[in-house]
Amino acid sequence: MQEILTLAQDPAAWVALITLIVMEVVLGIDNLIFISILTNKLPADSRVSARRIGIGLALIMRLALLGTVAWIVQLTEPVFEALGHAFSWKDMILIAGGLFLVWKATKEIHHNVDPSDHDEDFIATSAINSFAAAIGQILLLDLVFSVDSIITAVGMTPHLPIMIVAVVVAVAVMLFAATPLANFIENNPTIVMLALAFLLMIGTTLIAEGMGFHVPKGYVYAAMAFSALVEVLNMVARNARLRKQRAGKLH
């Protein structure tokens, strides 16, 4: 309690808290896109519950990981060396998560391009399309993003209370934004392909990071923002054409 009161009176601690919250929210965008696409494959009456339970369990997992910060930091220690790069457990977790995202996004893109090929739609199968499986996949990807974000947080501040508050606020934002984002993606089919392309890029970035090639997050998010802006302009143009066509039919 004394540490919390001391931090509350420290302007530097407030700056660190605000910076860390912004970083956690931005890093959560990747996870939120994945959750939106995954839960939209579930029956309509269970989607909101899946998002809330998945994100709620993700919060518990992140707080548990924060309780083992000393162990998490050790994940950056080299385990073996190959191809001139020393791989740590963090690297292997990022590579595994990246490969999973690339595989999942590629499969979904294939299904969207060729929807008649139902055998290739791994999400549409009963095993993957179950409520429990969706929750499990949300937690699996959140583990990958959590390890990366917590290690980054440790590098920004040594104070555990600041990390806990930042994580709770960021997850609360995810919980608030999950359903509106998922509904927006579902109501705009072309957004689905864009979101899958984002997942493909994010997966590739995770693999590159795990292989020792640093990819500045600013470049990645700038590319995502630019692509989203182009898609918004396309949507505006399509809606304008539809309104013009309807007006022409009325006359």
Location of structure tokens 């385990």: 79
Q: Of the given ranges (36-40, 60-64, 72-76, 219-223), which has the lowest mean pLDDT?
A: 72-76
Structure-block tokens of residue 119:
């055998």
The highest-confidence range among 11-15, 141-145, 226-230, by mean pLDDT, is 226-230
What is the dihedral angle through the alpha carbons of 69, 75, 78, 83, rounded to the nearest 10 degrees?
A: -140
pLDDT over 70 for what percent of the chain? 80
Pairing state of beta strands 78-82 and 85-88? antiparallel
Residue 126 has pLDDT above 50, yes or no: no
* Per-residue pLDDT at 121: 47
* Per-residue pLDDT at 128: 46
Residue 7 has pLDDT above 60, yes or no: no
Rounded to two decimals, the pTM is: 0.68
Domain residue limits, the chain: 2-215, 217-251
Q: Could you tell me the CA-to-CA distances from 22 to 138, 146, 158, 199 in Å, in that order?
A: 22, 15, 17, 21
Residue 39 has pLDDT above 50, yes or no: yes
Residue 161 has pLDDT above 60, yes or no: yes
Q: Is 124 helix (H, G, I), strand (E, B) or coil?
A: coil
Q: Is 85 helix (H, G, I), strand (E, B) or coil?
A: strand
Residue 147 has pLDDT above 60, yes or no: yes
Average pLDDT over residues 180-198: 80
* Alpha carbons 223 and 159: distance in angstroms, whole number: 33
The more confidently predicted of residues 165 and 11 is 165
